[in-house]
Amino acid sequence: MKSIALLLIFYAFAPLHAEVRLPVIFSDHMVIQRGVEAPVWGWAEPGEKVRVSFAGNTVLTRADHAGKWSVKLPALAASASPRELTVTGGNKITFENVLVGDVWICSGQSNMEWPLRRSSKTAKEDAAAEQNNAQLRLFRIPKHIKLPEPAEDTEGTWTTTATVEDSLEFSGCGFYFGARLQRELDIPIGLIDSSWGGTPVDLWISKEAFKGYLGQERKGGGIYNGMVAPLVPFAIKGVIWYQGESNRRDAYPAYFTKLEALIGGWRDDFQVGDFPFYLVHIAPFQYKHDKPEDNDQTLCDNIWAAQYKAADEIKNCGLVPIHDTIRGVIHDIHPWDKRPVGERLANLALKQDYGQDLPWTGPEFASARLKRGEVVVSFDHIDEGLTTNDGKAPTHFELAGADQVFVPAQATIKGDAVVVSAAQLASPKYVRMGWNETAVPNLADKNGWPVLQFPAKKVR
């Protein structure tokens, strides 16, 4: 019965090939991606002439034998002037209040899906603050859709932020990301919320990407088929991705290879080059409720390590740390404050994609050297200097000898370095910080960005 229901949903989205029609990603209030040739596509009677007009440009085509047609609008500059997009065949469709700017997909599992209304203590005020912002537009796929084959259409519509309820139902992480980008850039920003809680990355990868990037023959990811394929090849600027909890037990480097397939597959599909793909570092959480004292590194070794590798090795991929935003609360897998998460992602984009000079990452481990029995740990990307976010000594540093049996260590900030020592280790060989899925280190830059947790590093 379940498979029959899925097929009924699939056929409900199938085109009827009667009159000119477009997928729901095209609607009033939409944002067209600037700076690239933007695809517009749909269905009509086989052989029917189709005319697409926007911003003084007109492109002509004919529907093929299957009733499908596609054109590309020429690259356009950003514009906040509301204009009409018209599509004419045997009938005429007019989309109103269309802007040109940057379009970002917001995707992942529950922490991306988490709505704005539950993402901040000031959610209603934040939504109300954007009511008069005509340059921020939202597209949300309102249902969880999983299909056996790629669908040609999905559900959803573009909205403005004039209605507070529309904003409150949108991804909180995505909303804060887009609102900051729009304020800083003063151009239209379109956000597409395609997310589903509790889902592994596997279901977001297409059949072709599994084969091409993972060398595996398998039926494509059902969520990709229902919630990503229908958006292809809508022109986008990039993707923010908050997911990984459901792949926690994927032995390293499995999650990294899946991220390669996800990112490479989506880039192949959307056809706008190696667009930015930014990740959220999964926050600490007490996964073992029955044995909270366990020193568990499953999340660290499998997901954090894979995320670091992706940020280092995949072109235009980046990562933002967020462990400080949970304020030490390790029993909630859904950190409630999504504002710093979205705004840090926006900072990363503003630095990497828009050339702004601002903090975009936390300090990262650079080196460790032994000096008179103590380990001096240095960091890259220090902005205003090291501090702790609670005024206490740095926490969650550990040292080990050649056997890599780690013991707790004392740490002190000295300039742009941290000096680490343990009385029982006269000549430490390894150092690490916060490499435990329940650890919430307090070391930070004075600009408010936390130092990224790191695994065992050799002391030189």
Note whether 364 and 423 are within 8 A (CB): no
In a domain, 335, yes or no: yes
What average pLDDT is seen over the chain?
Answer: 95
In a domain, 7, yes or no: no
Reported as a single tens digit per residue, the pLDDT across 404-416 is 999 999 999 999 9
Does 186 share its domain with 256?
yes
Does 117 share its domain with 91?
no
> What is the rounded distance in angstroms from the CA atom of residue 225 to the CA atom of residue 395?
45
In a domain, 288, yes or no: yes
Does 386 share its domain with 238?
no
Which of 205-214, 216-225, 342-351, 433-442 shows the lowest per-residue confidence on average (mean pLDDT)? 216-225
Q: DSSP H helical segments within 63-218, as ranges?
A: 110-113, 123-129, 164-169, 172-185, 207-214
Range of the domain at 309: 101-352
Does 286 share its domain with 226?
yes
In a domain, 81, yes or no: yes
Reported as a single tens digit per residue, the pLDDT across 370-402 is 999 999 999 999 999 999 999 999 999 999 999
Reported as a single tens digit per residue, the pLDDT across 194-217 is 999 999 999 999 999 999 998 988
In a domain, 159, yes or no: yes
- Please report, for the domain that includes residue 164, its CATH number: 3.40.50.1110
> What is the rounded distance in angstroms from the CA atom of residue 329 to the CA atom of residue 315?
33
Does 24 share its domain with 73?
yes
pLDDT for res 1: 39
Question: Residues of 416-427 as b/e, b for ≥16 C-beta within 10 angstroms?
Answer: ebbbbbbeebee
In a domain, 381, yes or no: yes
Does 91 share its domain with 172?
no
Note whether 310 and 239 are within 8 A (CB): no
Does 21 share its domain with 169?
no
In a domain, 6, yes or no: no
Does 171 share its domain with 247?
yes
Q: Residue 12 contacts by C-beta under 8 Å, 6 or more apart in sequence? A: none
pLDDT for res 291: 67
* pLDDT value at 339 more than 70: yes
**How many other C-beta atoms lie within 10 A of the C-beta of residue 272?**
20
In a domain, 4, yes or no: no
Question: Residues of 135-167 as b/e, b for ≥16 C-beta within 10 angstroms?
Answer: bbbbbbbeeebbbeebbbbbbbbbbbbeebebb
On the 0-12 / 13-18 / 19+ scale of CB atoms within 10 A, 352 is middle
* pLDDT value at 277 more than 70: yes
7 confidence band (pLDDT: 50, 70, 90): very low
> What is the rounded distance in angstroms from the CA atom of residue 302 to the CA atom of residue 242?
16
Does 322 share its domain with 337?
yes
pLDDT for res 243: 98
On the 0-12 / 13-18 / 19+ scale of CB atoms within 10 A, 406 is buried
The helix (H) or strand (E) run that includes residue 267 is: helix 254-270
pLDDT for res 162: 98
> What is the rounded distance in angstroms from the CA atom of residue 287 to the CA atom of residue 115?
23
> What is the rounded distance in angstroms from the CA atom of residue 162 to the CA atom of residue 169?
13
Does 296 share its domain with 389?
no
Q: What is the mean pLDDT of residues 272-299?
A: 88
293 confidence band (pLDDT: 50, 70, 90): low
Residue (of 228, 229, 221) closest to 203 by Cα position: 221
- Please report, for the domain that includes residue 60, its CATH number: 2.60.40.10
| Axis crossing angle, helix 207-214 with helix 254-270, rounded to the nearest 10 | 120
Q: What is the mean pLDDT of residues 23-27?
A: 98
Domain termination residue (choose one: 302, 320, 352):
352
> What is the rounded distance in angstroms from the CA atom of residue 250 to the CA atom of residue 173?
25
Does 108 share its domain with 95?
no
Q: Residue 376 contacts by C-beta under 8 Å, 6 or more apart in sequence? A: 368, 369, 370, 414, 417, 418, 419, 420
pLDDT for res 294: 61
Residue (of 242, 206, 239, 240) closest to 223 by Cα position: 206
Does 122 share its domain with 190?
yes
Domain termination residue (choose one: 327, 352, 377):
352
Domain termination residue (choose one: 52, 76, 99):
99
Instruction: Report the number of distinct structural domains present in the chain.
Output: 3
State the distance between the two ends of the chain, measured CA to CA, in whole angstroms.
62
Confidence (pTM): 0.95
Note whether 265 and 212 are within 8 A (CB): yes
Distance of CA 29 to the CA centre of its chain: 23
